[in-house]
Chain A
Amino acid sequence: MDSHTGNETMIVQRIANGTVIDHIPSGKALAVLKLLGDPHIKGFRVALVMNVSSKKMGKKDIVKVEGVELSDEQVQRLALVAPQATLNFVRSYQVVAKRNVSPPSVVVGLLKCVNPTCITGKQREPVYSTFLLSSQAPLTYVCRYCGRELGEYEISSQVQ
């Protein structure tokens, strides 16, 4: 993959099999990496490219992971950190499929309401936090139970 950084070209080795996560908002690559788990433990190879030029986004980050395909839950989390991200699935050095992520309209049990008196924060109550998508840009969710909003920063810090 060639990634353009101003007038220079950065060469990043291609992967044989795995996933390229493109169109990550600039500065969020490390957050995306955290969603995948610790590469030291899981043993997969990773390439991070940050702050490269993008026609669509101005600046963007890219994460390439060898030998890893994201689970549905990871894709859902990814959509909350990088709502415009594109997934490129690579087999034998070829992109065999592409998928755009999009923030789910409802997120159950993944985010925590920041309102200390919301019913979803009560200990010992069998209630799952439920957030409804309120805005895609900026990414905003609203607690179904108390109406409190979660903004991009809170969402991003919670899903990592």
Chain B
Amino acid sequence: MAHGAEESGWKNRDVIDILGFTKNELLDLFEETDKFVEQGSDFGEPLRHKIVATAFFEPSTRTRLSFSSAALRLGAKVIDLSAEVSSLMKGESFADTIRMLEAYSDLIVVRHPSEGAALFASEISSKPVVNGGDGSQHHPTQAMLDLYTVNKLKGGVDGLTYALVGDIKYARTATSFLYALTKFNPRRVYAVCPEALRPRAEVLKRLEGLGLRVELGLELEDIIGELDVVYATRIQKERFPDQSEYEKVKGSYRLARTVMEKAKRECIILHPLPRVEELPYELDSTPHAAYFKQAAWGVPLRMALLKLILGG
């Protein structure tokens, strides 16, 4: 592989968090993704004898469907566990469900509201487990996609100035993106958010230990002119222990067009989607909007990931 990572290191690998990957492995993944982006169609069904299981214990649109689409495009079959109609409704444990999926498939994509669920699943299953999001902790494939988008549109990840805007406490995509940046050398990283939605203390401590300093307490208007990447997030209503706290901060940190007009023309906006109020439709037609490309590249990136893990 071009960046020195060993291809054999991907075979049957669990994908639990982004920190488990080296910079070279990520660059190799991006290179594989580029091939699928350029190829467009007719991928030759390299996974035609494989079965991918999707087990989402929380709602999902993009992650579940892009994994399904990626698997189908590579010729794999997809089986989907629907939590609402499965034995989970009869009280089956998560562990027993994973054991069943291990027997029925070659790879399990799992999303669960509990932090650590994907790691636990990987301890149970001999088949590779890919974390599609565990509570407010990790979403590694989203972080891979976010980095890929930056790399593709900006010609690299290093040396850029980033601002994460909105909910950096509960949004696992934001936490994973920060962890992902530790693999590279960003110029500056800001977290623009209300005090109640700042990164969790243990996350900041871990980032600091990994050499990434996150600057807090600034308003977007004060820094917009120096930003290369704005990473917007939805306020995670479903993760607030106290809904009155959500009411206090909802609607804050909306990316107003008047603010984005002060940004560099090349500044891109990423958003893991879905959006609510934080990302107005009027930005969709600006050169800053990169979030639909980001979402679309979710399929080729996950194709590359599945091929590296299951292929060969």
CB within 8 Å of B: which residues of A?
115-122, 124-127, 142-149
Contacts and interface: CB of A to CB of B under 8 A. Distances in A.
A115 B115 CA distance: 9
Contacts of B75: none
B119 interface: yes
Contact of B116 (A124, A126, A143, A149): A143
A126 B93 CA distance: 9
Interface in B112-150: 112-117, 119-120, 134-137
Contacts of B93: 124-126
A148 B202 contact: yes
Contacts of A145: 115-116, 119-120
Given A146-B135, A147-B202, A147-B203, A122 B94 contact: yes
Chain A to chain B: the 6 pairs with minimum beta-carbon distance, closest first: A145-B116, A146-B115, A119-B116, A119-B114, A146-B116, A119-B117
Contacts of A117: 113-115, 135-136
A112 to B, nearest CB: 13
A132 to B, nearest CB: 12
A142 B202 contact: yes
Interface in B240-265: 241
Nearest to B138: A147
Main secondary structure, interface of A, reads loop
A129 to B, nearest CB: 10
Interface residues of B, number: 21
B171 to A, nearest CB: 15
B173 to A, nearest CB: 16
Nearest to B241: A116
Nearest to A115: B115
B189 to A, nearest CB: 19
16 contacts: A115-B115, A117-B114, A117-B115, A117-B135, A117-B136, A119-B116, A125-B93, A125-B120, A127-B95, A127-B116, A127-B120, A145-B116, A145-B120, A147-B137, A148-B115, A149-B202
A137 B94 CA distance: 37
B218 to A, nearest CB: 26
Contact of B115 (A119, A124, A149): A119
Nearest to B116: A145
A5 to B, nearest CB: 39
B305 to A, nearest CB: 23
Contacts of A144: 116, 119
Contacts of B152: none
Nearest to B205: A149
Contact of A118 (B95, B116, B202): B116
A149 B204 CA distance: 12
A147 B201 CA distance: 11
Given A119-B115, A149-B202, A125 B135 contact: no
Contacts of A119: 94, 112, 114-117, 119-120, 134
